[in-house]
Amino acid sequence: MLYAADLACLKGDRLLFRGLSLQVAPGAMLRVAGPNGFGKTSLLRILCGLAHPEAGEIRWNGRPIASDRESFHRTLLYLGHAPALNDLLTPLENLRFTCAAAGDEVDEDACVDALVRIGLADQLDLPARVLSQGQRRRVGLARLFLGIGRSLWVLDEPFTALDAAAVADLATTLSDHCAAGGLVILTTHQDAPFAAPPTVLDLSKVAA
């Protein structure tokens, strides 16, 4: 269970939101919505412990995330809105590097399978710099297909630049993760065919 109470976020001299509370239970999906610049990315980063809120607290399974950051981060899979790729490495090398850096033990065959599943079978050996935006996005998303046992998925605009088939496959993967007891928090500006509609938190309706 992820629980946040009374969060406030200040950027420069602008208060993006205050008094924001939420909870996400195992099996649930939360979609953070709102116009550009309303603080969706800022909220996701705060929920992941990657940025500090101006006020408020976040608890994971009852414990403040700051009290045991390491174990919280072992349960978390965060994908930011821009894929963090090394342009000189192939998709396979990038995926293996990301997993190793995160401490996930994944063998090469599993990485190849994940990249093929996400539609990069023909790009496995190309340097990332030649990939299209949608293909770059897919390299990061391939981690979701690795079954690395992280229960909390926090995904910033995961559907951006994906074609319709990839959107459908990703929506199914996220729904399946929830059906298996995982938690998903995401932002998206587009509709996706989830098995069940996510709970929506609209930041344009939160006090600032």
Ligand X SMILES: Nc1ncnc2c1ncn2[C@@H]1O[C@H](COP(=O)(O)OP(=O)(O)OP(=O)(O)O)[C@@H](O)[C@H]1O
User: Which residues sit at the interface with ligand X, rule CB under 6 A?
Assistant: 11-12, 14, 16, 34, 36-42
Shortest distance in whole angstroms from residue 119 CB to ligand X: 24
Q: Residue 74 or 81: which CB sits closer to ligand X?
A: 81
- Which residue is at the shortest CB distance from ligand X? 12
Minimum Å gap between C-beta 62 and ligand X is 27
Nearer to ligand X, 148 or 161 (CB): 161
The DSSP line for 136-190 is: HHHHHHGGGGS-----EEEEESTTTT--HHHHHHHHHHHHHHHHTT-EEEEE-SS
23 DSSP β-pair partners: 3
Least distance CB 188 / ligand X (angstroms): 10
13, containing H or E segment: none
- Of the pair 40, 177, the CB lying nearest ligand X is at 40
For residue 143, the Cα-to-chain-centroid distance in whole angstroms is 10
Minimum Å distance from CB 145 to ligand X?
25
Q: Strands of 76-79's sheet, edge to edge?
A: 76-79, 152-156, 183-187, 29-33, 199-202
User: How far separated are the first and last CA of the chain, in Å rounded?
Assistant: 26
Decide whether 69 or 189 has the Cβ nearer to ligand X: 189
Cβ distance to ligand X smaller for residue 11 or 129? 11
Give the angle subtended at the CA of 29 by the CAs of 200 and 116, to the nearest 5°.
Answer: 125
Minimum distance from residue 51 beta carbon to ligand X (Å) = 9
Q: How many CA atoms lie within 13 A of 66 on its CB side?
A: 8
Token pair for residue 165? 């088939």
